[in-house]
A and B are shown apart, each in its own frame.
Chain A
Amino acid sequence: MSLGKLADIDRRVFYWILFVALMVPFLSPIGFPITIAPNTQDLYDGITGDEVNEGDVWIVNFGYGVSAWSECHPAVTVCTKALFREGAKIIFTGIHVDLELTYNKLRDTCSEDFADKVYGEDYVFLGYMTGGESVVAQLASNIKSVYPADHFGTPYDDIPMLEGVVDHSDIAGVLSSDTGDYGGHFMTQWQGAYGSKVAEIGIAMNGSTDLPRWQAGNFFGVSVGSRGGAELELLIGELGEATTAMDSISVSHLLLILAIIIGNIGVLTEKLGGKK
């Protein structure tokens, strides 16, 4: 096989190599050390210590579905644990149709922290909201108008922790975790309009959009993909799913660089062959 053909390898060869290679770290973990990015450190600092007072009410928005659990859920788990341990109260909301599955998974992954918390007093699951940016804007001005009852049908006024929680001014901060643009909606309608504290827990693909917003101060912190989740796990001292996934990410990135090198060898060979 001439080296020039390296530029035209059937993509299915790569798919199979990638598929097999990604399984290896799960069977035999390697455990490369990771460093903490400044955006992740800022996120963690913003939900711990002096930044959070006991009794503060935070919103955690599930803007991701089951398909993005691997990227967003570890970071949301760490943030939920951190907030609970600081004594904050959490309102869980969401915009995905499989929201209940995500909420139940969070209760599993944070089972110890949920164990000594009382539903309705320390946390509440308001459930699904629809309507795009309009509903996020409406949430900022009147939470009850979006959620007259929680996900289980309990009227808003009958939930103890929501007494006196009317609008953005009663919310200490928002953690938006999404695969799309809801972080941007919270940034525009909460942070931009009222100066609320907003942080984003996003997928790796959205990192290029979220990082400028963190640099500009719109988000007080950003967690980017599985790597962000792994960094947060390291910060809280409880390694989990994201840390396990880091080895697979290392393998896939190395394979990708190898594939790029192979492709460029092929291109270079063709060029040199053409020049001759």
Chain B
Amino acid sequence: MSDILKREVVYAITGIITVLMLLEYFFFDTSQAWAEALRTWAVIIYNISLFLGAIRLSIAHSVRIQEKRRDWQYSGILMAIFVIQLLTGLAAYITTGVATNNGIYNWLFNYVYTPLGATLYPITGFYIFSAAYRAFRARNIDAALMLIAGCLVMLKNAPVGEAIWIGFATLGNWVQFTAQVPGMRTLAIVGALGLIAFGFRALLGKERGFYAGGGE
């Protein structure tokens, strides 16, 4: 039974829903109630998976705390904040209908979580810097061309480039709109074709990843 559930039922559900969504897109010019229901169910399933992830997280960290593994204290902090946010958000939702109507919830979110999250994004700039220093080496003709094109686009994007020489804007625009954008468009088109082919193979049960290793 488990093999049938893994494969045949998955094939059937996937195939039926795909055909229905394609039918709605091509044969109906207004949204259909049955298609709306399917889309709503997709949203519901995604949100159930969030719940699943939260349960898994709780179990994993609870075990770490129980067994006092390495750095179990961090798991303790995570679980404490998880429980506080969950309880305060639920309490606010039950009493006022809006989950963010709670001082503790908002304080932890606005003054702990959000600044921590905002801190990680700027690290990208520094890492791009070191990646470019390491990668942009003119070891051969191809690398040299990539290097020159990259520098031209950078000088075009930075106002200082135009201040140094107005030609950088012209050259940079040429590199970007005549060379780079068509190249990216090509990758986007072939990627889309590959994506459709992948979906077709998944529908026919030929892709293993789609069936968690249970495909043909």
Contact = CB atoms under 8 A, between A and B. Distances in A.
Interface in A133-167: 134-135, 137-138, 140-142, 145, 151-153, 167
Contact of B117 (A15, A98, A134, A137): A98
B182 to A, nearest CB: 8
A260 B136 contact: yes
Contacts of B182: 212
B136 A263 contact: yes
Interface string A101-134: 1000000000000000000000000000011101
A160 to B, nearest CB: 21
A34 B163 CA distance: 9
B162 A132 contact: no
B18 interface: no
B100 interface: yes
Given A134-B39, A256-B132, A34 B159 contact: yes
B160 A253 contact: yes
B101 to A, nearest CB: 9
Nearest to B43: A131
Interface of B is mostly: helix
Nearest to A226: B157
Interface of A is mostly: helix
Interface residues of A, number: 63
A2 B68 CA distance: 51
A141 B30 CA distance: 8
B7 to A, nearest CB: 25
Interface stretch (A40-48, A61-69, A75-83, A87-95): A61-69
Interface in B158-216: 158-163, 169, 173, 176-177, 180-182, 184-185, 188
Contacts of B27: none
Interface in A218-276: 227, 246-247, 249-257, 259-260, 262-264, 267-268
Contacts of A209: 184, 188
Interface of B: 25, 30-31, 35-36, 39-40, 42-43, 46-47, 96-98, 100, 109-110, 113-115, 117-122, 125-126, 129-130, 132-134, 136-139, 147, 151, 154-155, 157-163, 169, 173, 176-177, 180-182, 184-185, 188
9 contacts: A11-B129, A11-B134, A15-B126, A204-B157, A211-B181, A215-B177, A215-B185, A255-B129, A267-B138
Interface of A: 7, 9, 11, 14-15, 18-19, 32-35, 37, 65-69, 97-98, 100-101, 130-132, 134-135, 137-138, 140-142, 145, 151-153, 167, 193, 204, 208-209, 211-212, 215-216, 227, 246-247, 249-257, 259-260, 262-264, 267-268
